[in-house]
A and B are shown apart, each in its own frame.
Chain A
Amino acid sequence: MKDQQGMSIIVKTVTRVSVWLILLYGWYIILHGHLTPGGGFAGGVIIALAFLNVMLAYGKDFTVKWLNIQFLKDMEAASITLFLVMGLLGISFGGAFLANFLGKGKLFHLFSAGTIPLFNVIIGIKVAMSLFLVVWVLADIDSTKGGEL
């Protein structure tokens, strides 16, 4: 047994398949945010849960190797900066902060509603990264060290 961390082989095998399905479902929720219930926050939470699923099944060390934590941190900062830049584009093209400056399209179509799907994608990435990183940081604290008052 070289792989002591994580859960049993059954859980690992199921996770290996299901994590991609969960990620796909998360992206579906994000991209259809302007048509159906859900959107950036809900889809982002689902994506973060997919990563957490891997972390629970395979253990912390494997997840850190599998995902590049520094890249996730950069994605988080970049996505929220992009949100502000989109808002500022709204000032220059639409006349007000966060204004919807793209064409509205047809109702009930996937590519419609102007900037709202773009904002959904940005928020989805931000929420997914933030939520996963929060749990990762909490799991990373060693509660036996740092006892000095």
Chain B
Amino acid sequence: MDEIFGIPAPLLFGQLLLGLINGAFYAMLSLGLAVIFGLLNIINFTHGAQFMMGAFAAWMLLEWAGLGYWWALLLAPIIVGATGVITERLMIRRLYKLDHLYGLLLTFGIGLIIEGIFRNEFGSSGLPYRIPPQLQGSWDLGFMFLPIYRGWVVIFALFACLATWLVIEKTRLGAYLRAATENATLVQAFGVNVPRMITLTYGAGVGLAALAGVLAAPIYSVNPQMGSNLIIVVFAVVVIGGMGSILGSVLTGFGLGIVEGLTKVFWPEASATVIFVIMAIVLLARPAGLFGRG
């Protein structure tokens, strides 16, 4: 059997693939964060809670309305996105003219409150959510057995990231968005309703988090803490990629998933730390992040 750095090659391929799957979650979450930061200048610390709400929305749709996974994939982002729109209208809107720090504190507080409410209602032990029957089972790839559902996660996440990127870079709406990021007053002078666009952008970013939550529900247990475990890592991803850089956050998300996966082979004890070590190095060498401008 071929070996690379003393690790059998098939094992290494398996780990790369698994890293890619975790990277898919990082990419989707950091994409939402990057979009929100790019346009709103708000560091959205509620993102983890909104990811968790997406998973819970899937669970509620199934338990209370009898709607399965595929409906949840469609409805959960809309429902959770709507709560995002309300939050933006009622609270976040008031902070645009203030320092970043205020937005960070507000969204962090909202996140804690949401988590507390869910813990109160549902307790802290996980709720079961099954893999949809169409995606059960596994593929034999020769070097490992890949559960079909995990393959689906990667493909779906890639598709979602690509779609978001296309909307922002290639459509008229995206052009408005990018223009408003550069100079909101001027865009408004041309007759574009910038405040509404900002609200909807926040809603879309939140919807992306919820979508990732639905994807995560069948693999991880659905519990109120599931977002806070992930969100710190995702922030590191955004910082490494460069705040506000959409392509950067997607590439870094997948890349760091792979790095983390490899660490789990060579030095498992450090797998929770490796991303932060990279973050420190990147901040020292390129303070604007790998893909950031400035």
A binds B: no
B interface residues (Cβ-Cβ under 8 A, vs A): none
A interface residues (Cβ-Cβ under 8 A, vs B): none
